[in-house]
Amino acid sequence: MARTDHSFPAGSGSPAAAPAALRGRGAVTNVRHRFQRDDRVQVDDGWSASGLPADFVDSVPDSISDISSSAVAGVAVEQTAGAAARATVIPILPDTRSAPPAPKTTVTAEEARKILSRNDSPDIPFDVAANPYRGCEHGCVYCYARPTHSYLGYSPGLDFETRLVAKANAVEALRAELARPGYKPSPINIGSATDAYQPIERDWRLTRGMLELALETRHPVTIVTKNALVARDLDLLAALAQQNLVVVYISITTLDAGMARTLEPRAAAPWRRLEAVRSLTDAGVPVGVLVAPVIPFINDESMEHILQEAKAAGAHYASYTVLRLPWEVKTLFEDWLNAHYPDRAQRVLHRIEDLRNGRRNDPNFGSRMRGTGIWADLLRQRFAVATRKLGLNRTRLSLDCSRFVPPAGPGASASLFDGAASGEVVGAGNAVSSVNAATDFQSPVDAKASSGVPFPGGLPAVSGAYGRGARQLRAMAAGQLSLFD
């Protein structure tokens, strides 16, 4: 393994100069995004409410009188000293200028031309994804989706958490794409970039509308979230689960509520996410837990505890990823470290470099999710031992694509729950697609070290649309696993 040079500090700033943390927000400032051509910096000019610089008012009198210009030098000095004692000093008044108001969350509606996005990455187990929102109010400082806000001209910092965009026609756009001739069903991941159950979902209900459409068309879906709001849609998820059409992964980064308030300030508390796991499991919905991301010296010691609590709550699957710092997230995360953990900021950054071949971020397929080197191998071994002892990942879940039926026409309306228990398809005359009759949604299996230790039980079965299977096999053979293994 190449040795990382730590002779120079990993951080570009000092903890003393770090911006102050904001209550209820993950980012501490708005960073300049990579497409921005100008840079604006707020500077305090130092003038107090009296109109004079604070350092000047106390030390220098405002006026000196009774000094004779014709006096000799000695007398002038005495008169000057006496006049200084009698001079009127302008007091420093309290600064009544109010601090900048806390940033408020605003939501802008947009009409999306399409809602489905496709990928051919070997690192993730789905080909198709849908994101009803841009930006995320959860405010997770480590979020890899923050740089996407730059495409809107917004900062990946506070703007990502406060200037949100809702795709108001998300359900209609999804219906149109599912009804296209020749559409081939493949499990749709809801919330691959920004969380589909972030707080504004309570009012917009776009995710629920997409689940209703999935149940109507019998289309398989997968969900990744860190909000207990997912339990609100238990009726839809249970009906989908009866037909083997859904799996839910809940991300739990830490069990420490205090740490969670700084890492992901507006996400559900850890105990509420565990309650959501229990509620979904009791309703028959397959649930997995993601320990993501693992941050060295911040939450890495919690991996086994999170898995243990998740198993006790009823989870059947588990996976993990290592912290990723693409684009502007590097600066945001460093500012966050200096604001909340200045005592260990440099240690954290250096260990990240150890995991990323001496860099802060590794964008390469096959290594970006789990890292490389001895520390990455140690995490893999810990995860493998914990999941084996707890009995997680003993089965692999395959979602059923054979039930899909194109959406009904504008004049037709079918009950969402008709035939849900029996598995019958609503809508006579609709041809049922037999493509990808049982697409494997990758659930975690035993880990493989980057040093080349083979899988104990062989490579997991991989299949899916658009040739993803071959790419995943190549990535796994190279010693890396996908997001969910």
Indicate whether 461 pLDDT > 80: no
Query: 377-394: buried (b, 16+ CB within 10 Å) or exposed (e) per residue?
Result: bebbebbbebbeebebbe
| DSSP SS3 for 439 | strand
Residue 464 has pLDDT above 80, yes or no: no
Give the pLDDT of residue 23: 72
Position 413 pLDDT exceeds 50: no
Position 326 confidence tier, pLDDT thresholds 50, 70, 90: confident
Please list the alpha-helical segments (H only) found in 109-227: 158-162, 170-178, 201-204, 206-217
Identity of the amino acid at 366: G
Q: Cα dihedral sign for 452, 453, 459, 460?
A: negative
Query: Which of these ranges, 72-76, 150-154, 233-237, has the smallest mean pLDDT?
Result: 72-76
Whole-number Å distance between alpha carbons of 170 and 309: 35
What is the rounded CA–CA span in Å between residue 441 and residue 187? 8
Angle between the 329-340 and 345-355 helix axes, to the nearest 10 degrees?
A: 140
Structure confidence by residue, pLDDT tens digits, 198-215: 999 999 999 999 999 999
Residue type, 363: P
What pLDDT does 26 receive? 66
Q: Tell me if the pTM is above 0.85.
A: no
List the structure tokens of 191. 């919330």
Question: Token pair for residue 219?
Answer: 């289309």
Tokens of 189: 């991941």
Q: How far apart are CA 420 and CA 252, in angstroms?
A: 31
SS3 content of the chain, % helix, strand, coil (to 5): 35, 10, 55
pLDDT 10s digits, 465-477: 334 444 454 444 4
Q: Do residues 224 and 192 make contact, with C-beta atoms less than 8 angstroms apart?
A: yes
Q: How many CB atoms lie within 10 A of CB 340?
A: 18
**Distance (Å, rounded) from C-alpha 442 to C-alpha 436?**
14
Residue 87 has pLDDT above 50, yes or no: yes
- For 66-85, how does the pLDDT look when each residue is reduced to its tens digit (9 = 90+)? 444 444 445 444 555 555 55
Which whole number is the average pLDDT over 389-405? 92
Task: Tell me the mean pLDDT in the region 137-143.
Answer: 91
What pLDDT is attached to residue 444?
Answer: 36
Residue that is written with structure tokens 């691959």 in the block:
192
